[in-house]
Amino acid sequence: MRDYKSESRIKDALLNMVFPRRCPVCDEIVPIGDGLICGQCRTKPQYIREPRCRRCGKQLMGEAEEFCHDCMQRKHAFDYGYALYDYQSMKRSIYRFKYGKRCEYAKFYAGDICEKLIDEIRLMGADAIIPVPVHASRKRSRGYNQAELVASELSRLTGIAMYVKLVQRTKRTAPQKELTIQERQNNLKKAFNISTNVVKLNKVILVDDIYTTGSTLDAIAIELKRHGVKAVYFIALCIGEGM
């Protein structure tokens, strides 16, 4: 019987010799044997831990709190979700991943998500993983959708099917980071379309890189629920205080 796991490890090792893997934190070449992150950077990512907001997953300061200030002020269309990292500790990593073609970071991120949040993901009981889509023109210029890379690895690790074409971004929206919450919501109106090839899904997990106000996730959740999805959760790589 073939040992596929050993073959995969050998293949990864040979590939890493030809195309050395970069550390997702410092971006230096990872020494062979260190895995997906160099030894010096293992303690640098700052993880979101309990207590965290029961809606958006943001870090809370007090044990008695259940929701962050933002989630107490507004209602979300998604049900709830989790973020892995504090934004400030990983913002350079995410920037390189998003704009610098460091696609290999996706494997590390997805593995880290599973290590820290696998119990939460199992409790969601999701039928599908859906990456937050980017507009086709943006994907062409960038060459990839960073959320899709993470979602693909997460699907492989969890066994939850990924649906890439179910949600499509049909409107090229203005960059969200400089907009107010109201402007973000207006910016995203009619930005997403659900495929007419409707799949009977009850619960789904949206995957994105950065959670800011949740407006993008809300816009997708509204459309998914309008098409019969019962619960929409999310996993984001980063979230920050006040985002």
pLDDT level of residue 2 (50, 70, 90 thresholds): very low
| Per-residue model confidence as pLDDT tens digits over 110-141 | 999 999 999 999 999 999 999 999 988 889 98
Which residue, among 115, 108, 80, has the nearest Cα to 217 in the 3D structure?
80
Q: Above 80 in pLDDT, residue 17?
A: no
Domain boundaries, the chain: 1-43, 45-239
Task: Return d(Cα 226, Cα 241) in angstroms, integer.
Answer: 31
Res 5: pLDDT? 44
Res 122: pLDDT? 97
Task: Return d(Cα 206, Cα 219) in angstroms, integer.
Answer: 12
Task: Return d(Cα 238, Cα 58) in angstroms, integer.
Answer: 9
| Per-residue model confidence as pLDDT tens digits over 52-105 | 999 999 999 888 889 999 999 999 999 999 999 999 999 999 999 999 999 999
Above pLDDT 90, what percent of the chain?
Answer: 68
- Tokens of residue 131, six digits: 């990456």
Q: Above 50 in pLDDT, residue 14?
A: yes
Name the burial class of residue 126, with classes exposed (0-12), middle (13-18) and buried (19+) by CB atoms within 10 angstroms of its CB: buried
Q: Quick one: fold of 45-239?
A: Rossmann fold (3.40.50)
DSSP string across 169-227: E-S-PPPSTTS-HHHHHHHTTT-EEE-SS----SEEEEEEEEESSSHHHHHHHHHHHHT
Res 224: pLDDT? 94
CB 80 within 8 A of CB 233: yes
Instruction: Find the mean pLDDT for residues 226-234.
Output: 95
Q: Above 90 in pLDDT, residue 191?
A: no
Q: Above 50 in pLDDT, residue 208?
A: yes
| Per-residue model confidence as pLDDT tens digits over 146-189 | 999 999 999 999 999 999 999 998 866 655 555 566 655 555 66
